[in-house]
Structure 1
Amino acid sequence: MRILVVGGGGREHAICWALKKSPKVRELYCAPGNGGIAGVAECVPIQVNQFAEIAEFAVDHAIDLVVIGPDDPLSEGIVDFLEAKQLTVFGPRQNAAIIESSKVFSKELFKKYHIPTAAYESFDNYEAALAYLHSQQIPIVIKADGLAAGKGVIIPHSLEEAEKALHDIMVAKIFGESGNQVVIEEFMTGQEMSILSFVDGNVVRPMVAAQDHKTVFDNDKGPNTGGMGTYSPLPHIDPSVIEEAIEKIIKPTAAAMVSEGRPFRGILFAGLMLTPQGPRTIEFNARFGDPEAQVVLPRLKTDLLDIFLAAINGHLGQMDIQWSDEAAVCVVIASEGYPGPYPKGLPIEGLDDVQDALVFHAGTALKDNQIVTNGGRVLGVTALGSDIADARAKAYAAVERITFPGKHSRTDIAKKALVVQP
């Protein structure tokens, strides 16, 4: 089969890497791809928002399946557009991708179908939002309604910070039109957990659980990012809690989307908080997480292409999906200054010296036969091991071998999962 993956980040590198292992894949393309993806797929210089060009390429190259990676084109209706051109596509249609592209929609869905989540109110008026803010306890969570590259959630720890965050989102428009509405919700305490699922309407096939590290610095300090590292499995979390989240949150959400006339087909990503009252929903995404994909897909033993095709053809419930017992840890290497302004074009050294690890490229480019930085999150270094400690040691050993000016990574990824032996 001829496959085209749309996207150019670490998530898409992991998807391409997984698809490349399938004996059914004859040709693999990625648009636009990046410096690392070029090692496993032919990169095509078409941007993710160039729907007509993507369709033209797919038709001209007799592409059998288009796989959509990022959230932006999903929210803008790329699946609907390509299906109208008689192309086979894996990913949710626009009316289902709204579960990620509008936090107001998703919160109202949770309320209507009694899906556990934080108490909240939504606003499209700045003065009304400000008045509500003054009546709430701090810390609090303020979310831009629309997509904001993983940075649209602010957790102020003082009223002054909260007022500034609200002003920045709704008045200064730091996230553009995504800030036309906001959700203000209670601050939940507990550990976060990510569960991604292959979904086709009412059929939900959960993947192995993972945990992300959202803030830029050690000990969960600093501003939120798109994710600084992940690990899977979660040995410190009781399996019954994971099962409760699947049965009380993920499956009911998929069923709710069907009831709303918005059946979801693709990757449904649940961001969850394990509160003292049980698992609650933080948010849902409509695609693979980044960097969750970088630890989940290396643990997948079943052919990823077979799973995609089963979901498209309505056979997902019949799939026997197998997972490795190995642990996976991914450490993100970021540019200096991220998630604020950062330099680009810096040469990356040491990639060929990495052993016992996978290096997924998130923000790189190929310039004069040299891999250079081209984003805030540059690389995701993933290692597999017999347990979290083993995988973690291998991942950090690989991180040490890679250098570029201003390189930054957290040093405590997966530390929560280290079980101290008596």
Structure 2
Amino acid sequence: MRILVIGRGGREHAIVWALCKSPKVSKLYCAPGNGGIAALAECVPIQELQFEEISVFAKQQQIDLVMVAPDDPLAAGLVDYLEDRDIVAFGPRANAAIIEGSKVFTKDLLKKYKIPTAAYESFDAYEPALAYLRSQSIPIVLKADGLAAGKGVTVAHSLEEAEEALRDIMVDQIFGDSGAKVVIEEFLQGQEMSLLAFVDGTTVRPMVPSQDHKPVYDNDEGPNTGGMGTYSPLPHIPEAVVLEAIETIVRPTAEAMVKEGRPFKGVLYAGLILTPQGTKTIEFNARFGDPETQVILPLLKTDLLDIFLAVLNGTLAEQPIEWREEAAVCVIVASGGYPGSYAKGLPIAGLDQVKDSLVFHAGTALNDGQIVTNGGRVLGITGLGKDIVEARNKAYADAERISFEGKHYRKDIAMKALR
């Protein structure tokens, strides 16, 4: 099969890496790809939101399957666009991708179907939102309604911080139209867990659970990022808790989407929090997570393409899915200044010195044969081992071997599993 993957980050590198192992894949393209993906697939200079160019390329190259990985083109309807032109595409249609594209939609859906989540109110005007905010207890969480590259959520620990975040979203519109509406919700405390599942509308097949680290600094301090590292499995979280989350949150949400006339077909990502009152939903995403994919796919024994085809054919219930009895830890190596402003084009050294880990490129480019930085999160170093300790040691040893000006990374990824 001839396959085109849409995207340019570490998630897409992991997807391309997994698809490369399928004997069914004869040719692999990635649009636009990055410096690392270029070693595995032919990268084509088409951007994620250039729908017409993607469609024309797919027709010209007789692409059998377009895998749409990022949130933006899914929410904007790339799958619909391709399917309307008789091009097979993996991912939810826009009316289902709204589960990530609108926080207000998702919170209202969870409330309607009594699926556990934080108490909240949503607003489309600043003054009533501000009045409500001032009536609530602190800490409190504010979320821009639409997509904001993983940066639209603020956990405010003072009223001043909360008011500033609300002003940023609704008045200064730092997230553009994504901040036309805002969700203000209660702050929940507890361990977080990412639970992804393959879904073909009705059938839900969970992946191994993982845990992301959003704040930029050790001990979960500093501003939120797109994710500074992740690991799987979660030895400190009982399997019964994971199974309960599947039955009380993930499966009911997929069923609710069918009832709403928005059947979800693709990868459904539940961001969950384990509170003293039980597991609750923080958010849903409509695609593989980044950097969760970088630990989940290396643990997958089954051919990823077979699973994609089962989702597309509605035969997911019959598709065997096997996982390795191993652990994976991914450490994100980021640019100096990230998640604020950062330099690009800095040469990366030491990639050829990596011994025991998979290196997934997130923000890199190929410049005259030299891999250089081209984003905030530059590389994901994934170590595999018999347990979290071994996987973690490998990832950190190899993260040390790579160097570029200003590089930084968290030193405490997966420590929650070891405490």
**Which bin holds the TM-score, normalised by the shorter protein?**
over 0.9
Offset of residue 202 of structure 1? 1.3
The whole-number CA distance in structure 2 between the counterparts of 1:56 and 1:172 is: 38
For residue 67 of structure 2, give the secondary structure of its aligned residue in structure 1: strand
Aligned to 1:101: 101
The C-alpha deviation readout for 1:142-201, integer Å capped at 9, x for no partner, is: 000000000000011000001100001100011111000000000000000000000011
The answer to whether structure 1 residue 351 and structure 2 residue 351 are counterparts is: yes
Given the alignment of the two structures, is residue 272 of structure 1 paired with residue 275 of structure 2, yes or no? no
SS in 1 for 2:216: strand
What one-letter code is carried by the residue in structure 2 that aligns with 1:117?
A: T
User: Structure 2 CA distance, aligned partners of 1:311 and 1:181?
Assistant: 33
What is the SS of the residue equivalent to 1:4?
strand
In structure 2, C-alpha distance between the alignment counterparts of 1:128 and 1:337, rounded to whole Å: 35
1:229 equivalent in structure 2: 229
Percent identical pairs in the alignment equals 72
Give the C-alpha shift of residue 104 in structure 1.
0.1
Q: Which residue of 2 aligns with 1:63?
A: 63
User: Which amino acid in structure 1 is aligned with residue 59 of structure 2?
Assistant: V
Give the Å deviation of 1:44.
Answer: 0.4
Cα RMSD between the aligned structures?
A: 0.4
Aligned to 2:13: 13
Matches within 5 A, 1:319-330: 319-330=319-330
Q: How far apart, in 1, do the equivalents of 2:346 and 2:151 lie?
A: 24
- Taking the aligned partners of 2:112 and 2:3, their CA distance within structure 1 comes to 39
Equivalent position of 1:115 in the other structure: 115
**SS of residue in 2 equivalent to 1:321:** coil
Matches of 1:223 and 1:325, distance apart in 2: 34
Matching of residues 22-171 of structure 1 within 5 Å? 22-171=22-171
SS of 2:380's equivalent in the other structure is strand
Q: After the TM superposition, which segments of 4 or more aligned residues of structure 1 sit over 6 Å from their partners?
A: none
Mapped partners of 2:336, 2:64: distance in 1: 40
Matched residue, 1:240:
240
SS at match of 1:383: strand
Could you tell me how far apart the structure 2 residues matched to 1:157 and 1:284 are? 24
Q: How far is 1:404 from its partner? A: 0.1
* Alignment partners' CA distance in 2, 1:27 and 1:134: 57
Deviation at 1:65, TM superposition (A): 0.4
* Matched residue type, 1:124: D
TM-score under structure 2 length normalisation:
1.00
Letter in 2 for 1:370: Q
How many residues align? The count is: 419
Query: What is the one-letter code of the residue matched to 2:251?
Result: K
Alignment of 1:350-369 (within 5 A): 350-369=350-369
Shift of 1:368: 1.0
Shift of 1:418: 1.2
TM-score by length of 1: 0.99
Instruction: State the one-letter code of the partner of 2:67.
Output: V
Q: For residues 155 and 418 of structure 2, what CA distance do their matches in structure 1 show?
A: 27
Runs of 5+ unmatched residues, structure 1: none
Q: Secondary structure at the match of 1:15?
A: helix
One-letter code of the match for 2:47? Q
Tell me the equivalent position of 2:283. 283
* Corresponding letter in the other structure for 1:64: D
Counterpart amino acid of residue 61 in structure 1: Q
* 1:155 alignment partner, SS class: strand
Deviations 1:119-154 (A, max 9, x none): 000000100000000000000000000000000000
Q: What secondary structure is seen at the aligned counterpart in 1 of 2:156?
A: coil
Q: Secondary structure at the match of 1:166?
A: helix
Looking at structure 1, the residues matched to 287 and 397 of structure 2 have their Cα atoms a distance apart, in angstroms, of 30
Structure 2 gap ranges (5+): none
Amino acid at match of 1:256: A
